[in-house]
Structure 1
Amino acid sequence: MAMKKISMQSLPNTRAWRTVLRRAWITGGTAAAASALTAAQCARRDGATAPAPMNAVTHAIWPRAAPRELGLSARFTLTGFAIHGCASVFWAIGFEALRARRARTTVWSDAADAAAFSAAAWLVDYHVVPRRLTPGFETHMSNRSMLYVYGSIAAGFAAAAIVRRYASRG
């Protein structure tokens, strides 16, 4: 019996997955930007510097230096934002896949799904993965600020979905 050659085009729902991935880049990028700005503002309010939370994200790579790095730097800040952005896109893939499976979504279901995925991200980030793989934001921010950061992730997800909804109508 001959084996059938499998290509990307022959996989089920390849077009749908391409759409999900394309949308996830935008949705995740929006959430990453919103949460990075929120983290910077919250860190300043909590007595740290604005770059400190993004620098702390790199503690998986530089466990001793990252939490102490308070200034803006390519090594820590840009690397931290890249890691944070990739994590946001990862969660956005799930968010967009869920939205794609639904026959119909509303603004309210977009907001609820965004909140659910943000809550799941927090749960995994701080209660499932090993400490070395946590975001590290808590090094420089209060619990209240953490709520704002994860809320801004949800807001970024929802905003991207809602803007896309209204842009496609016009």
Structure 2
Amino acid sequence: MPALPPSLRHGALSGSLASLLSAAALALCGRRETGSVFAAVNAVSHWLWGDQAARRDDASLRHTLVGYVIHHCSAMFWGVLFERYAARILDRRRVASTVAAAAGATAVACFTDYQLTPHRLQPGYEMRLSRPSLLLVYGANSGHWANDVITPQGGLDPVEQENLPTLTQPDGNAHVKGAAQRPQSEAGKLADDRPGRNESKDIHRSLNQHE
């Protein structure tokens, strides 16, 4: 099975991190402003159930689970785009440039969510939270840069290491193969040059002369 492109693997990981961080921010801000840690996440499910989902404060599979799944998929989508188009910046392994790129990507995501997207497909939690809280949520959503700062994309992950070519590895059997292919005449010459063999030849000549 072919390996997934690096942008998909890194994007899925960083997007998942962004989803968890921003979901925590939604819960904290929701509890502070609405009294419910589920209210803001429930509002995301308005994609399927309409604006009435934004009035639900209790936890439920219909609203809380669906809302989080939508939120998670959205975060992974933006994470993959970020990894795909900011790869050169991430390869520099500089915290400042990576944070700047993540902030820019978050600004683009926010603009897209509220200026280019129809109301039914907007995040939804803006119906329950104030603008300062939205700023905090989007700031947490840019947390996918944290993964790239800690483990820069320039390094190779285990899948990439397995796919490295082996052409650069030295052939440990090369010298053995070369020795096996050495001409027989050369091997015989080396054998004739051994000290013990030369001495036996000299003794044999001396005996012949005496005879």
> Shorter chain as normaliser: what TM range?
0.7 to 0.9
Partner of 1:82: 69
Gaps of 5+ in 1: 1-7, 10-14
CA distance in 2, matches of 1:128, 1:64: 19
Q: Say which structure, 1 or 2, has more relative contact order (CA 8 Å, 6+ apart).
A: 1
What is the aligned partner in structure 2 of residue 70 from structure 1?
57
Name the SS for the 2:152 alignment partner.
helix
Which amino acid counterpart does residue 161 of structure 1 have in structure 2?
D
Q: Does the CA contact (< 8 Å) of 2:110 and 2:138 recur in 1? A: yes
- What residue is the counterpart of 2:110 in the other structure? 122
- Give 1:69 deviation, angstroms: 1.3
Distance 1:37 1:94 in 2: 22
Contact 2:54–2:125, Cα closer than 8 Å, also in 1:
no
Q: Secondary structure in 2 aligned to 1:46?
A: helix
When normalised by structure 2's length, the TM-score is 0.68
Cα deviation code 1:43-85 (max 9, x no counterpart): 1111341111111001010004311211111111111111111
Task: Name which of 130, 141, 146 aligns with 1:153.
Answer: 141
User: 2:146 & 2:92 partners in 1: Cα distance?
Assistant: 17
> May I ask how many residue pairs the two structures share in their alignment?
154
Q: Structure 1 segments of 4 or more deviating over 4 A?
A: none
Whole-angstrom distance in 1 between the partners of 2:80 and 2:35: 32
Q: Is the 8 A contact 1:48 1:140 kept in 2?
A: no
Specify the structure having the higher radius of gyration (Cα): 2
CA contact under 8 A between 1:92 and 1:157: conserved in structure 2?
A: yes
Residue number among 85, 88, 97 corresponding to 1:109 in the alignment: 97
Q: 1:100 aligns with which of 87, 90, 95?
A: 87
The one-letter amino acid of 2:72's match is: G
1:4 — aligned with what?
Answer: none
Identity percentage of aligned residues: 37
CA separation in 1, counterparts of 2:47 and 2:121? 6
- Structure 2: where are the runs of 5+ without partners? 157-211
TM-superposition CA deviations, 1:110-164 (whole Å, max 9, x none) = 101111111111111111100111001111110000000000011x111111121
After alignment, is 91-100 or 79-88 more displaced? 91-100
Deviates more, 1:64-73 or 1:97-106: 97-106
More displaced stretch, 125-134 vs 62-71 = 62-71
Query: Quick one: distance in 2 between partners of 1:122 and 1:25?
Result: 20
Secondary structure in 2 matching 1:165:
coil
Q: Structure 1 residues 24-33 or 46-55, which shifts more?
A: 46-55
Whole-angstrom distance in 1 between the partners of 2:47 and 2:136 = 23
RMSD: 2.1
The alpha-carbon distance between structure 1 residues 108 and 127, as it changes in their structure 2 partners (threshold 3 A), is same
